[in-house]
Amino acid sequence: MKVSRRDLLAGAAGVVAAGAAGAAQSQDPPADPSKVRGRPSRALGQRAATEKPQRQPRGATSSGTPHQDLYGTITPSDLHFERHHGGVPEIDPKNYSLLVHGMVERPTIFTLADLKRFPAVSRVHFLECSGNFGGRGTATELTPQQIAGLTSTSEWTGVALATIFREVGVRPQAKWFLAEGGDAALLTRSIPVSKAFDDALVAYGQNGEAIRPEQGYPARLFLPGWEGNSNVKWLRRIELSDRPFMTREETSKYTEPMADGTARMFSFLMDARSLITYPSYPVTLTRGWVEINGIAWTGSGKITRVDVSTDGGATWTAAKLQEPVLSKAHTRFRHLWNWSGGEAVIMSRAVDETGYTQPTRETLIKSRGVSGVGYHINPVTGWRVRQDGTVIYNAEPWA
């Protein structure tokens, strides 16, 4: 590209102006932007200064997606929820490698470049922490982010795990594999080999760029529709075996005491769920037409219906589903509602392609009791619209 002296001068002036105007813009945008020359091009884009969506950290080990600030179905990568057990490691991609061994014909080490040489696939999928429910208490000043911020949707790119398993020659007696992360927890989970030959990926791409450090840079296991913890990040080792390994994360954690006296383990599947993201706390409504909308998702495939109630669950109407409805991905639902000013409780209820319907709180308590264990809790939830238009979480205390 030929750069003229005039361009350079204009660019330099622009940089200076942007420096001055940038600071000014964030506080005080011009009354008429069409009468002020805008800033020049730059190497890295940024959000509009007035848009400040934030993840909400809960302690040092997780932070949730601000669903109330988002549209559509894709979660911006820097707002994808995070959950980790030994902090977010800094991994030099040059030193990264994945070891695959155990019941295989050819124990093999793959560099990151090796993984990228394989035929790749890209798929849009949600990822959800199985501990994703923050609405069991009496608090009503809770946002969608606080109720269910630990789910996000991205386009994931990587190599099918089946391709890697064919490359190393997985032996017929191998029924499970151990996936191990390279973080300070060396987090491990046992996964059925059948998932590898179904739809599992070793992913290195997220929404068109390298996976973010919080999501497993430079490569992670991705198991569509299965609980977040089993999607081992910073994947450094896979060991094939004829039995599960009974790691801490699949025994003392990520298991659910059940009403029949058992503890459910290897409960990978994330069942169908929905969440109204608008209107929600802390919005204040004005009378008239409101588009109730939110997200629904299921680990079993596609969402086929989302019912919306504006009378606290007495009657339900099927909402519109935003096309395309993708398998194991957030699906946006929309329902137009004329709010006439009275108090109302609005709720949503997801149905998936297997016929499974999102359960009520009562149903879940019946099968799981009031245990403090909060894994796989996916109840129908709602928002209470008060006469003054303020919206609060419709708290239904769990115990």
Partner 1 sequence: MSARVLGAAIGAVGCVAIAMAQSPAGSQAAKEPATLGIGRPATQAEIAARDIDVGPDGVGLPPGKGTAAEGATIYAGRCAGCHGKTGKEGPNDVLVGRIPNDEFPFVRDPRAPKTIGSYWPYATTVFDYIRRAMPPDKPGSLTDAEVYNLTAFLLASNDLIPQDAVIDATSLPKVKMPAHDHFKPDTRTERPGRSGGSGRSSGSEKSGRSGGPVK
Q: Is 21 helix (H, G, I), strand (E, B) or coil?
A: helix
Closer residue to partner 1, CB minimum distance, 19 or 87: 87
Site string for partner 1, 244-263 (x = CB under 8 A): xxxxx--xx--x-xxxxxxx
CB hemisphere CA count around 252 (13 angstroms):
3
Which parts of 363-382 interact with partner 1 (CB under 8 A)?
A: 363-364, 366-373, 380
Tell the smallest beta-carbon distance from residue 219 to partner 1 (Å).
13
Which parts of 21-60 interact with partner 1 (CB under 8 A)?
A: none
Sort 76 into a burial class: Cβ within 10 Å, 0-12 / 13-18 / 19+. Answer: middle
Sign of CA dihedral 241, 244, 245, 249: positive
Closer residue to partner 1, CB minimum distance, 103 or 150: 103
Q: What is the dihedral of CA 135, 136, 141, 142, to 10 degrees?
A: -20
Which parts of 328-367 interact with partner 1 (CB under 8 A)?
A: 349, 354-360, 363-364, 366-367
Residue from 15, 29, 74, 85 touching partner 1 (CB under 8 A): that is 85
Closer residue to partner 1, CB minimum distance, 69 or 167: 167
Which parts of 180-239 interact with partner 1 (CB under 8 A)?
A: 180, 184-188, 197, 225, 236-237, 239
Tell the smallest beta-carbon distance from residue 254 to partner 1 (Å).
11
Residue from 110, 126, 337, 393 touching partner 1 (CB under 8 A): that is 110
Whole-angstrom distance, CA of residue 82 vs CA of residue 65? 9
Which parts of 282-321 interact with partner 1 (CB under 8 A)?
A: 299-301, 307, 309, 313-318
Terminal C-alpha separation, the chain = 68
Whole-angstrom distance, CA of residue 29 vs CA of residue 35? 12
Q: Which residues pair with 236 in a beta bridge?
A: none
Stretch that binds partner 1, among 4-12, 63-71, 163-171, 215-223 (CB under 8 A): 163-171
Whole-angstrom distance, CA of residue 161 vs CA of residue 154? 18
